[in-house]
Structure 1
Amino acid sequence: MQVAPYLALVLALAAACQLLAYRAKVPSILLLLVVGFGLGQVVTPEEVLGRDVLFAGVSVSVGIILFEGSLSLRFRDLRGLGTAVVRLCTVVVALAWVLITASGMVAGIGWQLSLLIGALLVVTGPTVIAPIVRQLRPTRRVSSMLRWEGIVVDPIGAVLAVLVFQTVIISGPEVSIGPALVMLGRLLLICTALTLVFGVGLEVAMRRHWIPDFLEGVVFLAVAVGALVVSNQLQAESGLLTVTMLGIYLANRPGLRLDHVREFKEHLQVLIVGALFVMLAGRISPAEVVAVAPIALVFVTLLILVVRPASVWLGLLGTSATREERTLLSFMAPRGIVAAAVTSIFALELEHAAENAVLESRQIDLPPLEALELEANAERLTALVAEASDLVPLVFVTIVVTVAVYGLGVGRLAERLGLATTTPNGILFAGAPVWARQAAGILQGLGVPTLLVSLSPAEVSQARMAGLRVERTHILSEYAVEDMELAGIGSFVAATYDDATNSTAAREFAHTLGSSQTFQLRRQDERRDEEAEEQGSGSRRRSSPESGATATQAKQRTARKLTARLAFRPALSAPELEQRVREGMAVRQTKLTEQHTLDDFLERQPDAVLMFSVEDGHATVVGRTTTVPQSGVTLVALVRPRAEANGGR
C-alpha cells in the first residue's frame, strides 16, 4: 500500500473509532487497539513508512501529546494536594518500579528486562487518563491528582528507562551507579536549560505581541518539536522531559494567555493519539500475543491487584488524600501511548546495540582478552534481544487489559465512593431568579443534582433557605470557570439578566459540558419568532420596502457563533420570564401518562413554558428541537395556577 492511502485510512479509522467510542461510552483506546491490530494483519506501518520514519514520527508525536497535556497543569490546582501529587510523582513511582520489577521476575522475565519493564510501566499517561476523566467527570481533587500523575510521570518513566537501559542492559551485569548519576545530572541540566531558553523566548514573544493570534498554535507546536529534537540530540530520550517542563513553565506564567494554543493542541492531540494507537497496534501479530499470553496473565494480574494498590496506599500515607480518594487512585492506572511508544523504541535500540556489539566483536587485530570480552557482550545482548521479543506484545496486552479493567470498571467504583458519576445529569444555573430556584427545588426532589451561581446576596440567601446548593460568585469569575466543583453536572442554563454574560458563559462551559448541553435564555434584542423570520427572509428581500428593514435586523442580530442553544419552549428572555412569575405563574412538575399526555397538558396550559423533561433521574433541557415524549416522563414547566388555567372554574 502506498503512503498516502495508508495514512488516509489510519486517520479515517482513528476518527471513526473515537466517535463510536464516545457514542457507546467506552474507552476509545480499546477500539483503536482492536482496529489497529486488525489493520496490521493486512499491512504493517513498517512496510509503508519504514522503521526509521515510523519511530521518528512516534517520538515527535508523543512529545506533542505531553506538551499539550502539560499546558493544562497549573500549580494553583494543587491547593491542598501538593504533598499528595509530589508523592504520586516520586514515592509512588519508586514503589511501583520496585514492585513491577518483582512482578516481572515472578512472571518469568529476566531481572534485567524486568527492571526495564518496571521503568516503562510506571507511567499512566494523558492519552488514557483524559478520556476516562472526561467521561467520568470526578471531583476536581481527584481530577487534578490523576492529570498531574498521568502527565508528569510519563517523562519520568522514559528517563528512568533510559538510565536502566544504559547502566544495566548496555553496560552489562556489573552495574555502576556513578555513570548513571552523571547521566541523570546531565539530563536534568539539559532539560532545565532548554526549558528556560525556549520558555522565556516564547513568553517574551507573547507578551510583546510578536505572534499574531492565528499563528500562536503553530509557533508553539514548532517550538515544542524543536525543543524535543534538540534535547534528544544532546541526551537520548530527554526530549519528553524537556517538553513537559516547558509546558508546565508556560502554563504557570502569570498573565500569559494560552487559550488559542490549548485549543489548537487539544484538537491535534486527539488526532495524533488515534493515529498512533492504530499504527503501533498494527505491529503486533496474533502469534506474538498467544506466545506471551501466559506470562502476561500473571504479570497484569499482579499489576492490578498488588502493585498499584500497594504503591498508592504506601506512597500516600500521611497526605491530605482521603481514604476514598486513595481507594479510587488504587484502581486507576491504565497504561497509554507513552508506554507503547517508548517500549517499541527501546526494543529497537536493543536490537541496534546487539548489532553494533556483534560488529565490534568481529574486528580483527584485537587483543585476545578484549576480543573475548566483546564476544561475550555480543552474545549477552543477542540473548537479550531474543528474550525481549516478547517485550512489545507484553506491554500491548498490559495496555489493553488495564484500559479495559480501569476504563470499564472505575465508573461504578467512583460512584460508590461518591467521587464521580458516569452519567452526569445535573443542571447548572447561571443566576438564581425565582423561577430558577423553583425549578432547582423540583429537580432536586426528582433526584437531579442542581447548582445555582449568583452574585446577588438576596438570591443566594433565599436559595440557601430553600435548601439548594448555591455558589456566590460571578459565573465568569476565575473560580467559577476554573475551580468550581462540577461533579454530577451535565447541562448548563445561562439565566442572568445580562445577555452578553449568558452568551460568554455558555461558550465557556461548552468546553467542559459540550455545546449540545449548554443553553441560554433568549436575548432581549432578538425577535421571538426567529425561525419564521429566517424562513421568509428570501421572499422579503425581494420586496424593496422590507429589504432595508431585513438588512437592519441582520446588522443588529447577534452572530450565531456567539450564542448558545436557546433554552425552554417557547424561548423567552429573562425579563419575560420574570414578568410571567409576577403575573402569578410558577414552576410545577407534571407526570405525563397515557391518561394525561403532553397534548392534554398543553391544552390545559396553552401558555406554559416547558423547561425540563425528567426520566429516571435524568433531566433534559427542553429547547426548540427537543422531543418531549407524550407520556412516561415528568415535565417541569412554568405554568399558571390550576384554577386560572381552567378558566376560573
Structure 2
Amino acid sequence: MDPAPYLALVVGLAVVCQWVAWRAKVPALLVLLVAGFTLGRLFSPDEILGRELLFAGVQLAVGIILFEGALGLRFRQVRDLGVPILRLCSRTVVITWVLVTLLAWGLGFDLRAALLVGAILTVTGPTVINPILRTLRPTRRVSQLLRWEGIVVDAIGAILGVLVLQVITSSGRTGPLLDAVITLLRAVGIAVLLSVVVGWLLTWMMRRDLLPDYLQGVTFLAAALGTMTLSNAVQSESGLLTVTLLGILLANQPGLHIQHIIEFLEHLQVLFVGALFVILAGRVEPRDLVGVADVAGLFVLGLLAIRAISIAVGLAGTEVTKQERTLMMAMAPRGIIAASITSIFALEFTHAAETAFARGDEAWAAEDFAGAETLYARAGDLYNLAQEVDRLVPLVFLVIVSTVAIYGLGVGRLAERLGLATVTPRGVLFAGSAPWVVAAAKRLRELQVPTLIVARERGDLRQARMSGLRTETASIISEYAVEDMDLAGIRSLVCATRDDNTNAIAASEFSHVLGRSNVHTLKRHDEEESTARRATAGRLKGNVAFSPPTDYDTLLANSRNHWRVTSTVLTDAYSADDFWVEHPRAIVLFVHSESGTNVASGARQGGETGDVFVAMIPDAETEEAEAAERRRTEAGHRETVGPR
C-alpha cells in the first residue's frame, strides 16, 4: 500500500475508534490498540513509511502532545500543592525507577535493559490520564496533581532514558558516568535556554499584536516543533524536556491569552494520540507478545505494587490526604509516551551497534587489529542489547493495555467510595442566586443531587449559605470559575443571572468544560423580538432551559408571587400528561431519574414512570386567585363582544 491511503486509513481509524470508545464509555486507548494490532497484520508501518521517517514523525507528534499538555499547567492552580508536586517529580520518580529496574532484572532482563525500562516506565501517560479525568472529574487537588505528574514526569522519564542510553553506549575517554553527567547538564541547559528565548519571543510578539489571530495557533505549533528539533540536534532526546518547559513558561505569562491556541492544539493532540497508537501497535507482532507473555503478568502486578509504594513513600508527610493518596495509587496508566520512547530507544541501540561495527571496519583497514576486535565485540554486545530492548516493546504494550484496563475501568468506583468523584456526575451548577435558584437547589439536595451556586457578590449568596448549600463567590465568566473551580460531581450548568449576555458568555466558556449538551441558559428577555441583527450568535447560545422556556424576570416575579418549587414523582397512575393537566402553568425545571438529573426543556416536558419533576408551580391560593381573574377577564370579554 502507498503511504497516502495508509495514512488516511490510520486517521480514519483513529477518529472512529475514539468515537466508539466515547459511545461505549471505555478508555479509547483499548479500542485504538485493538484496531492497531489488527491493521498491523494487514499492512506493515515500517515497510510503508520506513523506520526513519516513522520514528521522526512519532518524535514530533509526541513533542506536540507534551507541549499542548504543558500549556494547561498554571502555577496559580497549585499554590497549595507545591511540595506534593515537587515530590511527585523527584522522590516518586527515583523510587519508581529503582524498583522497576529491580523488577525487570529479577524477571530475567539484562541489567542495562532493566535500567532503561525502569526509566521509561516512570512516566504515567497524560494521553490516558487526561481523558479519564475528563470523564471522572475528581476534586481539583487530585486532578491538578495527576495532570502535573503526567506532563512533567514524561519529560523527566525521557531524559532518564537518554542518560541510561548514554551510559550504555558511551565510548568516550571521560568514562560513562561523567558522560552521563555532561549529557544531563547539556540537556537541562539547552532546554532552559531555548524555552526562555523562544517563550520570550512568542510573548513579545503576542503582546505587541505582531501575530494576526489566524496565525497564532500555527506559529506556536511551528515554534514548538522548531525548538524541539534544535534541542535534539544539540543533545539527543532533550527536545521533550524543552517543549515541556516552553509550554509551562507560556502558560504562566501574565496577560497572555492563549486559550484559542490551546483549543487548536487539543484537536491536534486527539488526532495524533489516536494515530500514534494505531501505527505503533501495528508494529508489534503477535509472536512478540507471546514471547513476553510469561513475564508480563508478574511485571504488571509488580508495577501496581510499585505505584502504591512510590506514592505512599513519596507523598508521606505532605498535606495530601489519605483518600487522595489512595486514589493516586490507582491512577498510573501508561500511554503513548512510554510506547513511543521504547520504540525510539530500540532503534537508537541498533544505530549505536552499526556505528561501532563501522568503526571496527575502519580500525581493521588501518591495521589496528586489536582495536578492531574490541569494536567488533562491542558492536556484537550492542546488537544483543538491541534485541533485548526490542523485547521490551511488546512488553510495554502489554503494560499499557493492562494498566489502562485496570486503572481506567476500576478507578471510578474507587474514587466514588473515597468521596473524591462521582462515577456518573449528576450535579447542577447554578450561575446566579435568585430565590427560585435556592429553592430549586434545596429540592435537588433532597434528591441527593449535588449543587453549586455561584454569584459575583458574597451578599447575594446569604440565603443559599443559610440554607446549607454549597456556594462560590466568583464571576461565572472569570478565569477562576472556568479553569480552577472545583466541579467534582457537577454535570450541568444553568446560566441564571439577570444579564442575558453574561449567560451567553458563560454558556460558551463552559461548553468546553462540561460539554455543549450540558450547558443551559434562560430564555432571553428579548427572544420574541430578536432579529438576525440583534440575536445572539449561535456559538454563544446554550440550550434553552426549562419547560416551557422562561426568562429571568418571569421566574423572579413568580418567586415573589409565592410560587413554590416542588418535586412530583410520576407513576403509572399519575403520568406527565396528568401533571400538565393539573398544573397547566407549571414550569418544569429538572427531571430526575435513576440514570441522572437533566435540565427540562421544550414546550411540554415528558417523563417516564419513576421520574421526578422538580417544578415551579403557583401555590393553591395564588392559583385560585389567578383562575378567578381569568374567569372575570373572560366574562368581561363576553360582555364586550356579546349581543346588545
TM-score by length of structure 2 reads: 0.94
Matched-pair contact (CA < 8 Å) for 1:448–1:617: no
In structure 2, how many angstroms separate the alpha carbons of the residues matched to 1:366 and 1:322? 67
- Confirm whether residue 599 of structure 1 aligns to residue 577 of structure 2: yes
**Partner in structure 2 of residue 504 of structure 1:** 505
**Partner in structure 2 of residue 122 of structure 1:** 122
In structure 2, how many angstroms separate the alpha carbons of the residues matched to 1:48 and 1:371? 36
Q: State the one-letter code of the partner of 2:299.
A: F
RMSD: 1.8
**Partner in structure 2 of residue 74 of structure 1:** 74
In structure 2, how many angstroms separate the alpha carbons of the residues matched to 1:573 and 1:643? 24
Matched-pair contact (CA < 8 Å) for 1:599–1:630: no
**Partner in structure 2 of residue 589 of structure 1:** 567
Question: How much does 1:61 deviate?
Answer: 0.3
Matched-pair contact (CA < 8 Å) for 1:213–1:260: no
Question: How much does 1:626 deviate?
Answer: 9.1
- Confirm whether residue 15 of structure 1 aligns to residue 12 of structure 2: no
**Partner in structure 1 of residue 328 of structure 2:** 329
Question: How much does 1:96 deviate?
Answer: 0.4
In structure 1, how many angstroms separate the alpha carbons of the residues matched to 2:118 and 2:451? 45
Question: How much does 1:12 deviate?
Answer: 1.1
Q: State the one-letter code of the partner of 1:610.
A: V
**Partner in structure 2 of residue 616 of structure 1:** 594
**Partner in structure 1 of residue 456 of structure 2:** 455
In structure 2, how many angstroms separate the alpha carbons of the residues matched to 1:42 and 1:628? 50
Aligned-partner SS, 1:453:
strand
Question: How much does 1:162 deviate?
Answer: 0.6
Question: How much does 1:642 deviate?
Answer: 4.2
Aligned-partner SS, 1:479:
helix
Aligned-partner SS, 1:345:
helix
**Partner in structure 2 of residue 300 of structure 1:** 300
Question: How much does 1:168 deviate?
Answer: 2.3
In structure 2, how many angstroms separate the alpha carbons of the residues matched to 1:584 and 1:639? 9
In structure 1, how many angstroms separate the alpha carbons of the residues matched to 2:64 and 2:476? 33
Change in 2 beyond 3 A, CA 1:366/1:160: farther
1:15-69 per-residue CA deviation (whole Å, 9 max, x = no partner) reads: 1111111122111111101111111010021122111111111000000000000
Matches within 5 A, 1:252-331: 252-304=252-304, 306-331=305-330
**Partner in structure 1 of residue 516 of structure 2:** 515
1:97-141 per-residue CA deviation (whole Å, 9 max, x = no partner) reads: 000000101211111100000011100122111001111101110
In structure 2, how many angstroms separate the alpha carbons of the residues matched to 1:557 and 1:482? 28
**Partner in structure 1 of residue 640 of structure 2:** none
Question: How much does 1:458 deviate?
Answer: 4.7
**Partner in structure 2 of residue 45 of structure 1:** 45
**Partner in structure 2 of residue 369 of structure 1:** 370
In structure 2, how many angstroms separate the alpha carbons of the residues matched to 1:584 and 1:15? 52
**Partner in structure 2 of residue 360 of structure 1:** 359
Change in 2 beyond 3 A, CA 1:622/1:366: farther
Runs (5+) with no aligned partner, structure 1: 529-551
Q: State the one-letter code of the partner of 2:338.
A: A
In structure 2, how many angstroms separate the alpha carbons of the residues matched to 1:340 and 1:443? 46
Matched-pair contact (CA < 8 Å) for 1:137–1:487: yes
Range that drifts further, 469-478 or 200-209: 469-478
Change in 2 beyond 3 A, CA 1:464/1:486: same
1:411-443 per-residue CA deviation (whole Å, 9 max, x = no partner) reads: 111111111112111000001111111110011
In structure 1, how many angstroms separate the alpha carbons of the residues matched to 2:66 and 2:413? 29
Q: How many residues align?
A: 624
Matches within 5 A, 1:450-599: 450-527=451-528, 553-599=531-577
Matched-pair contact (CA < 8 Å) for 2:571–2:610: yes
In structure 2, how many angstroms separate the alpha carbons of the residues matched to 1:24 and 1:181? 48
> Equivalent of 1:629, from 607, 616, 620?
607
Question: How much does 1:171 deviate?
Answer: 4.6
Matches within 5 A, 1:24-43: 24-43=24-43
In structure 2, how many angstroms separate the alpha carbons of the residues matched to 1:141 and 1:457? 24
In structure 1, how many angstroms separate the alpha carbons of the residues matched to 2:145 and 2:514? 21
Range that drifts further, 31-40 or 43-52: 43-52
Matches within 5 A, 1:335-484: 335-362=334-361, 363-484=364-485
Matched-pair contact (CA < 8 Å) for 2:547–2:605: no
Change in 2 beyond 3 A, CA 1:626/1:418: farther
Q: State the one-letter code of the partner of 2:261.
A: V
Q: State the one-letter code of the partner of 1:27.
A: P
Matches within 5 A, 1:41-120: 41-120=41-120
Aligned-partner SS, 2:533:
helix
**Partner in structure 2 of residue 213 of structure 1:** 213
Matched-pair contact (CA < 8 Å) for 2:547–2:600: yes
Aligned-partner SS, 1:202:
helix
Matched-pair contact (CA < 8 Å) for 2:429–2:494: yes
In structure 2, how many angstroms separate the alpha carbons of the residues matched to 1:326 and 1:270? 29
Change in 2 beyond 3 A, CA 1:300/1:84: same
Question: How much does 1:479 deviate?
Answer: 2.7
In structure 2, how many angstroms separate the alpha carbons of the residues matched to 1:469 and 1:602? 32
Aligned-partner SS, 2:492:
strand
Change in 2 beyond 3 A, CA 1:169/1:117: farther
Show structure 1 runs of 4+ deviating over 4 A. Answer: 169-172, 642-648
In structure 2, how many angstroms separate the alpha carbons of the residues matched to 1:290 and 1:407? 24
Matched-pair contact (CA < 8 Å) for 2:166–2:183: no
Matched-pair contact (CA < 8 Å) for 1:27–1:407: yes
Q: State the one-letter code of the partner of 2:235.
A: Q
Change in 2 beyond 3 A, CA 1:67/1:521: same
Q: State the one-letter code of the partner of 1:37.
A: F
Matched-pair contact (CA < 8 Å) for 2:89–2:152: yes
1:462-512 per-residue CA deviation (whole Å, 9 max, x = no partner) reads: 111112111222222333223221100000000010111111111111111
Q: State the one-letter code of the partner of 2:539.
A: K
Question: How much does 1:457 deviate?
Answer: 4.5
Matched-pair contact (CA < 8 Å) for 2:63–2:240: yes
Change in 2 beyond 3 A, CA 1:108/1:578: same
Aligned-partner SS, 1:590:
strand
Matched-pair contact (CA < 8 Å) for 1:431–1:452: yes
Q: State the one-letter code of the partner of 1:563.
A: K
In structure 1, how many angstroms separate the alpha carbons of the residues matched to 2:300 and 2:182? 34
Matched-pair contact (CA < 8 Å) for 2:549–2:603: no
Matched-pair contact (CA < 8 Å) for 1:292–1:393: yes
Range that drifts further, 350-359 or 286-295: 350-359
Matched-pair contact (CA < 8 Å) for 1:170–1:353: no
- Confirm whether residue 641 of structure 1 aligns to residue 640 of structure 2: no
Q: State the one-letter code of the partner of 1:454.
A: A
Q: State the one-letter code of the partner of 1:336.
A: G
1:137-164 per-residue CA deviation (whole Å, 9 max, x = no partner) reads: 0111001100000000111111110110
Question: How much does 1:359 deviate?
Answer: 2.9
In structure 2, how many angstroms separate the alpha carbons of the residues matched to 1:350 and 1:178? 20
**Partner in structure 2 of residue 540 of structure 1:** none
In structure 2, how many angstroms separate the alpha carbons of the residues matched to 1:159 and 1:619? 47
1:162-200 per-residue CA deviation (whole Å, 9 max, x = no partner) reads: 11011124559x973211111111111111111112111
In structure 2, how many angstroms separate the alpha carbons of the residues matched to 1:206 and 1:62? 25
Q: State the one-letter code of the partner of 2:528.
A: R
Aligned-partner SS, 2:601:
coil
Aligned-partner SS, 2:412:
helix
Aligned-partner SS, 2:80:
coil
Matched-pair contact (CA < 8 Å) for 1:168–1:175: no
Matched-pair contact (CA < 8 Å) for 1:605–1:645: no
Question: How much does 1:338 deviate?
Answer: 0.8
Runs (5+) with no aligned partner, structure 2: 629-644
Matched-pair contact (CA < 8 Å) for 1:613–1:628: no
In structure 2, how many angstroms separate the alpha carbons of the residues matched to 1:73 and 1:472? 24
In structure 2, how many angstroms separate the alpha carbons of the residues matched to 1:469 and 1:156? 39
Range that drifts further, 48-57 or 626-635: 626-635
Identity of aligned residues (%): 51
